[in-house]
Amino acid sequence: MTSTYTEIMSVQNNRVKEWAQLLERRGRDKQGKYLIEGYHLVEEALRAGAPVETIVFSVDKGRPEELAAWAADRVEWVGVSQAVLDKCSDTQTPQGIFAVVTKPGLDPDELLASALELAVVLDGVQDPGNLGTIIRSADAVGASAVVLGRGTVDLYNPKTIRSTMGSMYHLPIVEADLLELLPRARERGVRLVTTSLQAQRSCYDTDLRQPTWLILGNEAKGVSPEVAAQSDVQVIIPMQGKAESLNVAMAATVLLFEASRQRLV
C-alpha cells in the first residue's frame, strides 16, 4: 500500500467517530481493530511488523519522521486537531499520536504446533494492569506464549495495552477455551501447573524445566475448579511473612522467573 496523508480537524468526522468507538470492547470486536497510544507503543508495533493501518498525529507537532522510516509505505498518515486527539484518547493528557491496528488472527492450533517450552495461562484475570504486567514478565523471561482463557480482561483494553509497555508485540498471545485447549497441550507433552494456597508442594521444589504451562486464576477466586482439575500438579509460593497471598501478577512473575532460573542452572 502506498503511504497517504490526509488531515482531519473535526470531531464530527465519521472516521473520528469510528476511532473513538475503539476505546470500547464492542467497537473493537465490531471493527476487528484496536488503538495504541503514544510514541513508544507505536514504535514497538512498527518494529514488530504488527498490522498498523493508520497513524494519527497532532498537526501542531508534525509527523514524527523517525516513525515514518519504520512505517515505510504500508501505513496511512492522518494529521488531526487536538480536539480529535482528545476524543480518541483514554488518557487525561493525550500524547499527540495514536495508531489504528488490525487485530491479529492467532489460532490455538498454531500455538500447539509450535515449540512451547514455557507459557502462562490465565483463567479469568480481570484487572488490565495485572494482565499487562504478566505479559511483560512473560516477555522478560522469553516465554513462548500467553494464553487468555474466557473471562479474562480484553487484551486490547487501552489500560492493558499501556501496561504491557510494548511486550504484547514480542510473543504470541492467544484467546482460547481452556477446557478444550489444556488436554490437547498435555497430549503434546506439556505439564500443566496451577497455583493453590492449599497446595503442599513448593514451586521451588517442583521441576519446571520440562515444557510447562503455568496456570493462574482470578484475583479473588483463583483458578476455577474446572480448570484446576486439568492440572498435573498444584504448587504454592512459600512466604515467610504474614501476607496471606500475592497479587496474581506478582505470583506469575515469581513462577516465571523460577522456571527461567531452573532452565539456566
Tell me the DSSP string of 166-192.
Answer: TGGGSS-EEEE-HHHHHHHHHHTTPEE
Q: Which of 102, 122, 137 lies at the terminal end of a domain, its last residue?
A: 102
Q: 222 and 97: one domain?
A: no
CATH of the domain at 235: 3.40.1280.10
- Counting residues of the chain whose pLDDT is more than 90, the rounded percentage is 79
Predicted local confidence at residue 245, as pLDDT:
81
Q: CATH number, domain at 79?
A: 3.30.1330.30
Cell numbers 504491557 correspond to what residue?
A: 164
Does pLDDT of 224 surpass 70? yes
Q: Domain count for the chain, please give it.
A: 2
Q: Output the CA angle 16-126-206, nearest 5 degrees.
A: 135
Domain boundary among 83, 102, 121: 102
Q: Give the Cα separation of 120 and 144 in Å (integer).
A: 9
The model's confidence at residue 105, banded by pLDDT at 50, 70 and 90, is: confident
Q: Does 148 share its domain with 253?
A: yes
pLDDT of amino acid 1: 41
Query: Are 124 and 226 members of one domain?
Result: yes
Give the domain extent around 68: 5-102
Task: Mark which of 42, 76, 102 sits at the end of a domain.
Answer: 102
List, for residues 33-54, the tens digit of each pLDDT value: 999 999 999 999 999 999 999 9
Select the more confidently predicted residue: 116 or 34.
34
